Structure 1
């Protein structure tokens, strides 16, 4: 690694920069600690020797295999798990063991092979102590090349299959070694084992596997003074492959590619994670939009229905206006002058014949509108609650994994909407709600008429308005009397008096309908705003999370594109 061309140095610098950016990003996203450590270790491995990692079940002969590679019994062998820690074999003198961590030791051995590479001996993939298997799993991302050792008497076990699947996810180059072929009795038996392993590995890895059947035991014997068994060990082809694969240029390519493989695997894994979260958030956004669409339709239907109900009140007032017109025609004439000069009498007649039962009719109509509004609001709360419940059931169980408090916050906010809606429904007191709306209606009418509502009902307020009108109309009639006495009731004066009367009646009608109309439109908006206020925290959360997860997904996708570009450049390095 010391003698690099400028192109190689540039690639190494570019790769290190990209991997560090990915590492910082993943830390910001709060990804799992083991994934952060895997990337950190793979970046660190760029500055270390080429790392050849030997894995497999215990009793598959991993230690014996490494001894055969080194040509000496450097590691302890046995039928029980003898490797309980990760052992990193490096070149050095004197021979010694250095404890790096609780579960990792460095062994220095004076072996020519170790001048170019470091070899890692790992606990069995089926270790009795689960922690040992986890240590092995965590070390895989650091590997530049993996030699997977399986035993000829127990080839390709279930635990080996599971472990190979994990190795595959890291995108590592794997060479299969079938050890202990010396225990097989016939060439046909060996052929069957090779075929069995080859077919199953091909199904798993989707490529033709590189497989070497060997006897580590015979190979070590041959290197220890018994050369006659060397050919039978079939070790030479494996060593030649390793030598050719691990020449300087090939080691460099593998060294550069492996950390990228780790970064690629994590970028892809979390990109898919955020994509799945975005899909769920799209469902949440759709749920929110559905609710908002429902509320808009509800508002439109409520306003249309209210206008129809308000027209009933307008009709009552128009009928009163017509009776006033008839009343005026009847009393502005000479035969009625004795009655017209008696103000109290004519006012009483006006209230009886024109105003009549209008206050009670209006109050009954307003009460009916209030009851309708209260019932409609309750039904809308129930509809929102049912919609949210249906949405939760539809999306239940679709979250995969978790980073941060997303799941908790999302469920908490949805639950808060449901709980608040249920609370509103359960505590909905129709009588109390109707009474409150009625009081606000009275205050609205009273404010329009510039009078004090006090504790009186709406009908009384309407009656007060009507009485005020009656007083005004009486004044118009008295003015008509004066005109009659002075001008003998000319038709023009009667028409002007009627026009003035109509104006005052119309003002009273418009005041009442406008105040009621504005108030009830505000009541409809108030009910809708209560629902919107309830779901607002959830809405803000979903939109903020959607933006954050979209940015994370796009960032990781960008990293994947950069990784592929660097991989292509590494692949094009001159042999």
Structure 2
């Protein structure tokens, strides 16, 4: 094999690639995906490693025999039963040794010159499903490989698991692949059959997007037996010498590093696009919630105005009915009649209440009926306000459920941690609103001690009744100067008294109505005072629970913008490096 040739231009390219891979590593760290960061870190370290072959294929395809024949050494175990039960990394070393790295991976060092420029990875069969870790480790080596050697048994190159794995290798990582039909000695007597299988392998590879698949028919048995003229391995070695060893290996290594880095950046770009789409969907959802809050707040304020009008309407109706009774009772003949009927001689024969007794009864009924109508109408009106609030919260909860269901970002593998963070925040929001709806449903019963809306009813209704009665009684006390304690009204003073009673009645009714009006205004003010802050505080409380989500959206917008800029700059730089490599080495099979 030729010695490595490192010219100044290749050293420049290697330095350039190292710079871009450092930028890619910084991006992966910023992304916060440990697996991605590990991939890029290993890619950086492997840029100066020997060219790496990864040999794959199904169990008993002849992979281990192929490696033994290629290296002219019995390195990999060969037996009738499946032998390769671990991934074996074969590299150059001054002494032959085997290091067991773990139960699924071992490293073999050999003093073979070709291994100074090549490293070979022997893998278990693609259909060895008994140990899941085998495939995981194999897939871990694939991203960092420089050439995939796919080995098929020449008598049956149609194994399903092998072709599925090929699709993964090519579609996921766009790795350079060559195809080996091993055990060609088994079809030595049937060259037509070998050609048919070879052509079928070419067609299957082309179906999977490999335009010009390179295929080789070899016999490890013949090679190890010294029959090198018919083993086919001279063609493999010629391919390696022409395309891989010496400075070619460095160029291919650089090119593969660029391709792998670009592939990672393409995956990152797709992830960022998905993440941006998710951000825009989440921003639209948040805007909908804000608009809903504004609409529902206005609707609730309108409901408060309706509650006020509805409540005062009932309040005035009761006050008007009681005004009619008071007007009748304060009439001259009604007053005189009660006075006369309560004289000592007549009272024994009459059950008529004295004016003081009627006044006490009137006061109690006034308090009771006004409080009752306030309580009844406030209950009904506030129930509508509460129902409006419950509808708003239920709508928000539904929007959260829709937003949380089938999120775009959950399908992305690069930003799984962002998806988990987002789901956690939405889960907290959903839980809060779910509890709110359940509790609010329980509290939608009149006059409970749990819901602040219903506590308002008791305060306003009782307070309104007391205010009205207090003002009216003060009016009655000041306006009625007649002797209504049971004394005899003399006929001589009847005209004067009568005139004074009528004047006092007018004064009492006027001041009664004025007090009712003042009480109405006070009620209106107090209902506004109690209900509007409740609605505003509710909106504030909803917004408060969205603070974490709002912070997440702000951070997402900033992070996506920064990562997108870094990703685009690094991708453009790597594309330039890739084109320069292709222009400077046009005769090398880089693709």
Fold equivalence (TM over 0.5)? yes
1:396 is aligned to: 405
Partners of 1:226 and 1:80 in 2: how far apart? 25
Partners of 1:261 and 1:469 in 2: how far apart? 96
Partners of 1:500 and 1:427 in 2: how far apart? 40
Q: Give TM-score scaled by structure 2 length.
A: 0.72
2:79 is aligned to: 78
Find 1:130's aligned residue among 129, 132, 135.
132
| 8 Å contact kept, 2:21–2:40 | no
- Aligned pairs for 1:357-436 within 5 A: 360=369, 364-365=373-374, 367-378=376-387, 380-381=389-390, 384-385=393-394, 388-389=397-398, 392=401, 395-398=404-407, 399-400=410-411, 402-403=416-417, 405-406=420-421, 407-432=423-448
- Aligned pairs for 1:493-532 within 5 A: 509-526=520-537, 528-529=538-539
- Tell me whether 1:564 sits opposite 2:581 in the alignment: no
| 8 Å contact kept, 1:90–1:108 | yes
| 8 Å contact kept, 1:122–1:136 | yes
- Aligned pairs for 1:23-422 within 5 A: 23-26=28-31, 29-31=32-34, 33=35, 35-100=36-101, 102-127=103-128, 128-168=130-170, 169-184=172-187, 185-204=189-208, 206-217=209-220, 220-221=223-224, 225-229=226-230, 233-269=231-267, 272-273=270-271, 275-276=273-274, 279=277, 283=281, 285-311=283-309, 360=369, 364-365=373-374, 367-378=376-387, 380-381=389-390, 384-385=393-394, 388-389=397-398, 392=401, 395-398=404-407, 399-400=410-411, 402-403=416-417, 405-406=420-421, 407-422=423-438
Find 2:471's aligned residue among 454, 465, 472.
465
Partners of 2:66 and 2:46 in 1: how far apart? 24
| 8 Å contact kept, 1:362–1:459 | yes
**Range with bigger deviation, 148-157 or 67-76:** 67-76
SS across alignment from 1:567: helix
SS across alignment from 2:47: helix
| 8 Å contact kept, 2:206–2:212 | yes
1:138 deviates by: 1.7
Partners of 2:314 and 2:232 in 1: how far apart? 109
1:546 is aligned to: 553
2:343 is aligned to: none
Partners of 1:569 and 1:77 in 2: how far apart? 46
Gaps of 5+ in 2: 337-354, 482-508, 586-591
1:173 deviates by: 1.8
| 8 Å contact kept, 2:117–2:249 | no
Aligned residues: 524
| 8 Å contact kept, 1:145–1:173 | yes
- Residues 277/533 of structure 1: CA separation in 2 closer, same or farther (3 Å cut): farther
- Residues 562/207 of structure 1: CA separation in 2 closer, same or farther (3 Å cut): farther
Partners of 1:125 and 1:567 in 2: how far apart? 33
Partners of 2:281 and 2:76 in 1: how far apart? 57
SS across alignment from 2:164: helix
| 8 Å contact kept, 2:89–2:108 | yes
Q: Give CA deviations for 1:361-380 in whole Å, capped at 9, x if unaligned.
A: 58515631332212441454
1:208 deviates by: 0.8
1:62 deviates by: 1.6
Partners of 1:555 and 1:9 in 2: how far apart? 27
Partners of 1:115 and 1:438 in 2: how far apart? 85
Partners of 2:377 and 2:520 in 1: how far apart? 19
Partners of 2:61 and 2:473 in 1: how far apart? 107
- Residues 554/83 of structure 1: CA separation in 2 closer, same or farther (3 Å cut): farther
**Range with bigger deviation, 546-555 or 191-200:** 546-555
Q: Give CA deviations for 1:152-205 in whole Å, capped at 9, x if unaligned.
A: 22314221123223323123222222222332343432333233222222232x
Partners of 2:513 and 2:452 in 1: how far apart? 34
Partners of 1:238 and 1:566 in 2: how far apart? 35
**Range with bigger deviation, 69-78 or 435-444:** 435-444
- Residues 19/254 of structure 1: CA separation in 2 closer, same or farther (3 Å cut): farther
SS across alignment from 1:431: coil
Gaps of 5+ in 1: 340-345, 447-452, 476-497
Q: Give TM-score scaled by structure 1 length.
A: 0.74
1:9 deviates by: 4.7
- Tell me whether 1:13 sits opposite 2:11 in the alignment: no
1:493 is aligned to: none
Partners of 1:392 and 1:570 in 2: how far apart? 47
Partners of 1:267 and 1:347 in 2: how far apart? 95
